[in-house]
Amino acid sequence: MLRIGVVGVGTVGQSVCKILEDNKDIITARAGVEIVPVAGVVNDLSKKRDVKIKLTNNVDELLNDDNIDIIVELMGGVEKAYEVVKKALEKGKPVVTANKALLAYHRYELQEIAGDTAFEYEAAVAGGIPIINALRDGLSANHIKSIRGIINGTCNYMLDKMINENIPYDVILKEAQELGYAEADPTFDVGGFDAAHKLLILASIAYGIDAKPEDILIEGIENITSEDIAFAKEFNYSLKLLGIAKKKNDKVELRVHSVLIPNKEMIAKVDGVMNGVSVVGDKVGETLFYGAGAGGDATASAVIANIIDIARKGKGSPMLGFNMPLEDGLTLASKDDIETKYYLRMQVEDKSGVLAKIASILGKRDISIKTMLQKSYDETKANLLLSTHTCKEKDIKEALNELKSSGVVLSMPAMIRIEE
Ligand code: NAP
Ligand code: HSE
């Protein structure tokens, strides 16, 4: 029998306990041993929960218990979780976690500490989709050219409902929280940070890049308006929050932001809480992974897959899938050098000379306008919605600042990158 200690018995922890019971027969057959959750750690012992295991609020009881074979960390957060995982690994206890925030900051130290002790984290990226397994094992013969992923279920769910059902932002965020999709602090979801944590994990496996969230471009979905949605619909785009990793010569570009994607692209059809990750390998070409990116049961499915794997093998493979530098000389690309197409939204004075001024501010930086839509507000003001051909991030940022102080644009223009 393999005894599991569950540190954090919330949305995912309760699903892990329940599935281990519901699917006991198939799990035992696949693992070759019975897997039983025996104890759990929570903050608040008085909360009602749907589990039969013994609960404590003292994590050391589990860490010091020689009868617990595997620690499953599902408490979330960074530093406390790091302390718990580190202690477990130092005691030689295998660990399974779904905690991407922890890994975004401490994955390399934890890989060192784990050594030969199994340390698995399939649920940390894209919930129920086995993307870690695919990237670390299934695609390991390839140089990875790019990864583009819808990797935050909460944002994808919210955007879908905002665009297709006109449900207001606040209402739909509350619903995503009630459904167990959102992080304990949902600003991690809507601010793009959760997707960034996941992207950093994928980038380590694909490129051996050791970057922290502070090092990369991260924008969320908080500033999307009904005008942006109208523009997307008018020009046949879907609006998504994407995590993007792209190899360009000896640089790797990492970024998270909302994008307009042509409706005809496969990834544009990933709706609701679903996640979709496209990985392009130099030999395999494009592969696409699709499935539930959040929610208790979908996430627990990946957590339990890791437990079964540990039961089968006894010890783990290198945590990030490599023991030595992956590709010599690869470094993180500067945010300024990102090149893409852009959609711009700005409120302008509705009078002669305004368009010429805007075109000149863009034109002198070699930013060429591709499409344009003007929606009048009233007699004096209009919303100008336009898309550009490919240009540099640095130039767009500078142009936006100049537009803001140009006297013809009435507030800071909004921008969404177009990915096509
Ligand atoms: P959750 O519902 O908030 O559950 C967290 C659990 O940890 C709760 O039982 C909480 O206790 C306990 N806990 C938190 N801090 C603690 C502390 N300092 N000491 C003792 N217990 C503590 O979170 P969740 O949604 O299950 O997520 C768990 C982890 O999985 C997070 O890392 C999250 O990012 C990740 N994840 C979640 C999903 C998802 O869809 N929800 C998907 C993929 C990955 P109380 O219940 O007493 O408050
Ligand atoms: N809050 C995360 C999301 C949970 O919405 O994708 C899954 O990692």
pLDDT per position as a tens digit, 11-65: 999 999 999 999 998 898 888 889 999 999 999 999 999 899 999 999 999 999 9
Question: Is the CB of residue 122 below 6 angstroms from any atom belonging to ligand 1?
Answer: no
Homologous superfamily of 2-129+296-313: NAD(P)-binding Rossmann-like Domain (3.40.50.720)
The arithmetic mean of pLDDT across residues 384-404, rounded, is 96
Ligand nearest to the CA of 152: 2
pLDDT per position as a tens digit, 98-125: 999 999 999 999 999 999 999 999 999 9
For the chain, give every domain's residue range.
2-129+296-313, 134-291+328-332, 336-418
In the chain, the amino acid numbered 396 is I
- Cβ-based burial of 231 (10 A; exposed 0-12, middle 13-18, buried ≥19): buried
Lowest mean pLDDT among 29-33, 43-47, 146-150, 290-294: 29-33
Which residues contact residue 136 at a Cβ distance below 8 angstroms, ignoring those fewer than 6 apart? 205, 317, 320, 321
Task: Supply the CATH classification number for the domain 134-291+328-332.
Answer: 3.30.360.10
User: What pLDDT shows up at residue 325?
Assistant: 73
Pairing of strands 35-41, 54-56: parallel
Q: What is the CA radius of gyration of the chain?
A: 23
Helix axes 11-22, 24-31, angle to 10 degrees: 80
CATH 3.30.70.260 fits 336-418, yes or no: yes
User: What pLDDT shows up at residue 281?
Assistant: 98
Cα(342)–Cα(252) distance, integer angstroms: 20
The arithmetic mean of pLDDT across residues 377-403, rounded, is 94
Which residues are registered as beta bridge partners of 281? 144, 285
Model confidence at 323: pLDDT above 70: no
Report residue 179's pLDDT band, with 50, 70 and 90 as the boundaries.
very high
User: What pLDDT shows up at residue 31?
Assistant: 85
Q: In this predicted model, which residue has the larger pLDDT, 195 or 411?
A: 195
Q: Residue 120's closest CA among 259, 276, 321, 382? A: 321
Question: Is the CB of residue 293 below 6 angstroms from any atom belonging to ligand 1?
Answer: no
Q: Is 198 among the residues known to form the active site?
A: yes
Identify whether the C-beta of residue 154 lies closer than 8 Å to the C-beta of residue 293: no
Q: For residue 163, is it left (φ>0), alpha (ψ between -120 and 50) or beta?
A: alpha
User: What pLDDT shows up at residue 32?
Assistant: 85
Give the CA distances from residue 2 to residues 22, 50, 95, 312, 337, in Å, rounded to whole numbers and listed in that order: 17, 21, 13, 11, 50
Distance from residue 205's CA to the centre of ligand 2 (Å): 20
User: What pLDDT shows up at residue 314?
Assistant: 64
Query: Which residues are near ligand 2 (CB < 6 Å)?
Result: 127, 152-154, 181-183, 189, 194, 293-294
Identify whether the C-beta of residue 372 lies closer than 8 Å to the C-beta of residue 382: no
Catalytic residue (one of 198, 240, 246, 341)? 198
The arithmetic mean of pLDDT across residues 244-261, rounded, is 96
